[in-house]
Structure 1
Amino acid sequence: MIVLRNLTKTFVVEGHRKTVLRSVNAVFPSGVSIGLLGRNGAGKSTLLQMIAGSLDVTSGEILTDGQISFPVGYAGSFHQDMTGAQNTRFTARIYGVDTQALMDYVEDFAELGPSFHLPVRTYSSGMRSRLAFGVSMGLDFDTYLIDEVTAVGDASFKKKSRRVFEERMERAGSLFVSHSLGMVEAMCQAGAVIENGRLHYYEDVKEAIAHHLRNLDV
């Protein structure tokens, strides 16, 4: 379970303050896949990064009783001058899992070929996302933070990613960001809509999608 309590996030850009989340209170239950919906810039990825602990909150707090993954589609998850293999090894040590087992899994899954042993800074955005997705799926979390990553790669890779994701969701939950409403409906049970700094949670993902479409005037 993840609890957001009076959560606020404000950015200051060139002297101007922009609040993307304003005193948000919500409970994301365990074992549920939740689609995060909202316009571009609404704060979806920002919320994932704060839940992961990679971005500080302005005020309020985030509480959890489970282990949460890093945002899978977030390129900043890895050290840019380390190779994909080195980043994988480092992550394995952080989470206390078998290093070689995770290395073997990620190298096979991410399909990076020789690039697995090159610095991450040489990767395209798609390669970074495949690496991040492979590392995340190779670890056991209670909640997976997924940010558009299943859209990466060719049809074969997308199919494989979705299959692995669905297998993980049989024993875990997720917070899932995607601009594909069809994918959100297919892969999530519940939904949350972020609009004007507020968050509305729906136990039925179809209700969340309907709310999001009203916001877009579709």
Structure 2
Amino acid sequence: MIQLTDVTKQYPTKSGPRTILKGINLTIRKGEHVGILGRNGAGKSTLVRVIGGAEPPTTGTVEREMSVSWPLAFTGGFHAKLTGIDNLRFICRIYGVDFHDRLDFVKDFSELGAYLYEPLGVYSSGMRARLAFAISMTIDFDCYLIDEVMAVGDDSFREKCKVELFEKRADKAMLIVSHSHRYLKGTCNRFLLFRDGTIQEYDDFDEVYEKYKELLAEPQTF
């Protein structure tokens, strides 16, 4: 289980602190697939980073009784001067898994060919995302954080990602950020709507999507 209690996240700006998350209370249990909708800049990705531990909350607590992935396709933890292979070796060492057992999978899944032996500094953003997703699938997490990952690559690669994640790991907990209503409706069993730094929870997708459309029609302020 992952438990957020009164989580607030603020960032300093020239005009003063800006509060992105306002007293978030949320529980994610094993096997639950939680979809997040909200306008751009609402705080969806911030919530994902806080849950994953990439950023601490300003106030409140995050308790994790499950292992949590980094955001899939996130490449911020990679070293640009290391090759794709060396980055895989480094991450395997951090998580205590055998590098050699995972190398063939990453080669096959990422479809990067000879670029796996080149430094990440020469990769395009899409190539980095392919590598990050492939490496993510080599580590067995209890909960996967998914922030628009299905925008990576061409149609065949996106389909391969869906099979690897949603079919082979259907029993894992997932927190999914996406602007695709069809994608969320077919994947999730709980839904969160971001509004003014808070979340509203729904079990029915059609209901939350109507609220989301109403939200999009409102004037946006930052």
Q: TM-score range by the shorter chain?
A: over 0.9
Could you say which residue in structure 1 is the equivalent of 2:120?
120
> Residue 15 of structure 1: CA displacement?
4.5
Q: How far is 1:72 from its partner?
A: 1.0
* Amino acid in structure 2 at the alignment position of 1:111: E
Task: Look up the equivalent residue of 2:217 and give its one-letter code.
Answer: D
Aligned pair 1:8/2:8, yes or no? yes
- Change in 2 beyond 3 A, CA 1:199/1:212: same
Shift of 1:25: 0.9
Corresponding residue for 2:132?
Answer: 132
Is 2:182 the partner of 1:179?
A: no
Amino acid at match of 1:202: Y
**Structure 1 unaligned blocks of 5 or more:** none
Q: 2:56 matched to which residue of 1?
A: 56
User: Which residues of 2 match residues 28-107 of structure 1 at below 5 A?
Assistant: 28-107=28-107
RMSD: 1.6
The answer on whether the counterparts of 1:38 and 1:193 sit within 8 Å (CA) in structure 2 is: yes
Q: Is the 8 A contact 1:137 1:168 kept in 2?
A: no
Corresponding residue of 1:204: 204
1: CA distance, partners of 2:168 / 2:63: 23
- 1:149 matched to which residue of 2? 149
Q: Distance in 2 between matches of 1:126 and 1:54?
A: 22
1:158 is aligned to 158
The amino acid of 2:134's aligned partner reads: G
> Offset at 1:20?
0.7
Within 2, Cα distance between the matches of 1:16 and 1:124?
36
Report the residue type matching 2:124 in the other structure.
S
TM-score using structure 2 length:
0.92
Structure 2 residues without counterparts, runs of 5 or longer: none
Report percent identity of matched pairs: 41
- Measure the CA separation in 1 of the matches of 2:128 and 2:109: 13
Q: Verify the 8 A CA contact 2:73 2:131 in the aligned structure 1.
A: no
SS at match of 1:16: coil
Query: What is the Cα deviation at residue 100 of structure 1?
Result: 1.0
Q: Does structure 2 retain, via aligned residues, the 8 Å contact 1:31–1:169?
A: no
What is the rounded CA distance, in whole Å, between the counterparts of 1:205 and 1:40 in structure 2? 19
Greater C-alpha radius of gyration: 2
**Matched AA of 1:43:** G
Task: Provide the C-alpha distance between the structure 2 equivalents of 1:159 and 1:130, rounded to a whole number of angstroms.
Answer: 13
Q: Distance in 1 between matches of 2:177 and 2:78?
A: 20
Equivalents in 2 of 1:204, 1:77: separation in Å? 36
